Each structure stands twice: as C-alpha cells, then as structure tokens.
Structure 1
C-alpha cells in the first residue's frame, strides 16, 4: 500500500508538489515499523549517493545545454534537413532523440527535445504525432546504450561490475537493433505522405562552445575509468564549466541551477528505495527469486527481460529496477543485469504507467496544446515492445557469446 501511494502521488503530483512529498514519510514509516533497519537503509543510501550525484549533474548539464541554444539549433537543423518530407523528418527525429537520450539522458529528450520537435513539425505544417511519439518511445527504448542514459542504467551499472566501456560495448548492438525495429514500425504505422507547406526558416548559429563541452563530456565518460575517475565527476565538471559561463553572462541565477539539479528527485529515489526494500524483503522477494535465473543462456535472458518488462508496467520501471537488483543480490551475472535493464527500459513503451518519463512526456505535450491519443500509444506499444524486447535480447545474447 505504501508503494502504491508513493507511485500514485509521483504520477499525479497534485498541485505540482514534488515526488518526495510522500516518498520520504513512507520511508520513515517503513523504518519506524521495523520493516527495514536504519543501518540497512543507511547502507543503501551510501550505495545510491554516487548514482544520485551523477543524476543531478546530468540534469543540470542538459538544462545548461538548452540554455545555450543546443536544442533550438537542433530543431532548426531538423527543419532544414528534412526538405519538407515528413518521412525524412521522422528518420532525423529518431536520430536526434536516440542521440539525446543516450548522451544527456531520457529526461532531456522528454523535457527539452519534445517541445522543439513539436514546434518544428508545426512550423513546417506537418502532423506532429509521429515525431512527438518518437520522442516518447526513444526516451525509453534508446536509453539502453550508456550507463548515463537513464537512472535505471546507473543503478544497474553499479551492480553489474562492468566498466563504462564494457557496459556500452555490450549494449551497443541491442541499442541499434531496438532503434531500427522502432523506426520500421513507426514508418509503417503512421501516414507520412505529403510535404511541408511552410518554409523551414533560418538556422541560428551553432552553439559551438556548448557542443564542444558535450563532446568532451562524452569522451570523458569513456576515458575517466582508465584514470580511476567516476563518470559523475566528469558530468559535474562539465556542468560547472557551462554554469560558470552562464553565470558570468547573467543568463542564469544560482537558485535556478540548484532547482534544475533537482535535489528533491534525488530524495524521492532514496525514499522509494527504502519502501521497495521492504516490499522485496516481505512480499515479492522470494517469488521473484524463484523465477529469476542465475545463468545467461538465451532462454534465461528472455525470461529475465520479460519479467522485468511486466514488473515495470505494474509498479513503474524505477521501483522495478530497485526491486530486481535487491533480489539479484550483490554479485549478479552481468548478462542477467543487462537483460533486466532491457526489460525495464523497453517495457514502459507498452503503457503510460511504465515510466515516469512517459508520464512527464504526456504532461509536456498537453501543456503545449497537443493531447496524445492513448489508443495510438497502446497500439504502438503492442507492436513495438514484444518485437524490440525479443530482438534486443537476442542481440545481447549474441554479443555475450563473443566475450
């Protein structure tokens, strides 16, 4: 009941109250009732702190990149490059959304790229639905490539024992296969005939400084482990560089920077983790432990991915990840962890409730006067989730055979 209350409040966010409003009291109640000991909760918090620090840094970095005009410039480039063809715009939107999700996390795709894509389609007088739905799907399904692409990835990365490069190498083929399958389904699902009836407009100057910082940041993610530096430090340094430039130009204030790092979201994750730990210990842990395999053969990987996808749509993908990692224990097989990650990241495309990012995407669209159709979302999910889940898991199994 506590978990349902926490997730229900985080989904509805009445009066715009932060997600932590219910999560922290719920965690306190769990501790008070003795379902999780204070020592175990403190140990879990210490484990999560580096991950949450990275999350805060990457959220701030994405906001500062937007402040420098990266997404406005990208939208203008999409409008010109598509040459008025909706089919070409969809392909370019896929590339932009997949890249943004991979490098700057799914939140950047939902909050920053989606409004730009919507404005681009409207400017060209093209139907926006295919392109904004692409942002929704890829915010989930394209978030499997790098440890930094999703909070679920960060949690799984710390449990997998893999290096940054090792994680990315194993997930590259599943990521490519997933994106290709999604694109094929979208191209058949939507009517992409006709041409734009409005001019693309002018492209603003490229935000060179911000683009260079983002490029160096991405390279730093891969190189930092070689010198025993955490990726979170790289993201933090990059955010400080862009923040210092914005502060010196008086384009942003310190309170805004703190708000964009979203410390309340980090507190929500800590509170949620304590509640999920209680659920794992006293309710779902044993049944899941009996179902989850401990070897990484193809049937076992498929079973893990399907279980993770179903659980993500029942309790949302973030608590599903915390719950599954708790059940898998301190030293799970990397292949099983990555298959679980495919399930919790791809599965949420089946329903609105599978991912907080999808719910946020819906709010972003409705605030811009574009109400998504739930029937289209469910039909797209029914077409894409089973195929992407199966294809990406087979791709993961194939890559694991080459290790």
Structure 2
C-alpha cells in the first residue's frame, strides 16, 4: 500500500479490474501502480472490441479505460456498455489527456463514471480505484439487501392474503347461511394493517368483521397476525359490543403507545332480516340494493381499539332484507387523492356505490363494477392496503 493512502478492505483489493489500453507500456505502467497499491486481480484488453469480450467473460468490478484506441475507441465502449442493464452500474474510470471542459463532458455523456488525467499520478489512480471499488461493493451489498427485503416483504404480503377467508368457506356461507360474499383486497408496496373475516355461528347467523391497524410496515403487519390469532381462538362471541370491549382491553395491554386499530363487527341474521353490529371508529358501512339508488349510511361511531382501556361500545341494529347488500371498506378508498387531486371522502364513495348499484351490466358482479368505478376515479399507487367487502342477503 502506498504511504498516506487510507486503508482499504481486502475484498476491495481483490476486486476484478480490467485495464483497457492499446499501448503496452501504458498497461504495464497502470498495473505496476495498482500492484504497489495492493490490488491483485488485474486483467488486460488491447482495444475496445477486446474490452467488450473480456467484460462479458470476467464481469469486472472496475474498468480503467483509455479513450483513444484503434478498432473501437473508449467512447463507443462506454455507450455500448450503458445500453445493457447488467452494466448500468459498472464503474468506468476513463484515463484521458483531454483538458477542455467540453471534451470531458463528452466522456461523461458517453457513460464514464470518473476521469483520471494523463500523465497518470500513482496516488490519484490508486485513490480513485479504491473509491470506485468500495462504492461498487457497497452498491452490491445494498442491492443484495434490497433483494432479500423484497422477497421477505412478498412472503409477508402473501401471509396477509392468507388471513382472508378461503373460497370454500365463502361457498359454504352462500349455500348454508344465504349470504353471498365478494371481496377485493390489494396490498400496498409497504406492509399494511388491513384484514377482514367471517365465522358461521351455530344458530345460523354469520359473524363478520373488518379491521385496520394504524400505520404501515412490519409493526402493523405483526399486529394483524396477532389480532387474527386472537379472533380465531375466541370460543364464543356473545354480542358485538361486548366482543369489542374485550378485544379493546386486551389490545390496550398488548399494543405500544399510539398504536391502535379500527374495527367493525356484527352478526347477519338472514332469517330475522337484521344486522346487529358495533363499531370501533371504523369506516361507515353502506347498505343498498342492486337496481335501486337508495343507500343507507350506517353509524360507525366508537373508540379505536387499544386507545383507552375502559372504552365502551354501542350495539346497533338495522334491517337487512333479502336482496340487500352491505359494503365494507378500508379508509384508503376515502382518503386517496382522485384524478382531480381531491379525495373521495365518505360522500364521494357513497355516490360511487350508488352508481354501481344502478349499473345495468348484469354479467358483472357488484364487486367488479365498483372496482371499475373506483379505478376510474382514484390515483394509483394506493398508499395503503385496499379492502372492499360486499355481503348480500339471498332470497331462497
């Protein structure tokens, strides 16, 4: 190592360096400087065509490139490499005697990463080689980390999707409980905290719920798995308001400060023609009837789960006749900016629901129609998970 040079990792010293120059003496001089600097994995090419062949063979970590060469010059080598995605980030250190700014700009426009001036200074060459090899390793490590993170996030998103009811359960609910359920779920780029579910009760009622944890990321996802497990393990559900009260006390002890969830749950009783529900600050459920423009907006008032230990929740009952359709949704649909840069809010979403209910395309489900109408209005990408659930009482 040259005296006065900063320390460099052994991994950088062993990085693959391709020296491209048509003059034997220049290649020898560069390799001598780099060898004295501790670099040991040196390879050579005598012109641009040879360089491209060696790069394909070696996949080097750094190219030290002369610009003026026969057959193919350094400019063309740079342009050829930058057209290929695999070499977009390959450091190209150009050695040049050009002194005019316009000439140096040409080198950068062709794709050079950096320049080193001729006649070569050993200290400058070693220093720039060190910097670009270290950056190359850091970039490689970052890409590897991002790749692992992307895979892990995809696994987590698939696990979240697996929390949703399976199709065979939905078929059972339709055939045995006379409730048809359609839903759409889209995960955002980040992990979110949305999920919904349902359980058939022994007395023929259907218990349903929709949950949205505050925030995004790993903590929100972990909270969804935690709460889903708690809901799954519940042996009895006496009433929606008591159930929310019990969940609230449990989550108040489990969740860190400033973490909370909104939730709506209830029972659909097709035989009695009613929905009994309770809300923990959820989005407002909507009930309408396909073919009709009449839509009822239900009261969603309540305390978020986990925010206050002694919170109480209100029991509400509404009629739900055969043919009626209830729409549950996550707040991304009311809060995402539309194509006019204004969010739909509750009133705008209600109008979209009303429009969907009166759509004459009988070959499409209400879920498909509503999805299409939302797509026309809202901007993507959504900044949170999107959940839309439709539950319809059947007349049999």
Query: Considering the TM-score relative to the shorter chain, is it more than 0.5?
Result: no
Structure with the larger strand share: 2
TM superposition score normalised by structure 2: 0.23
Higher helix share: 1
TM-score by length of 1: 0.23
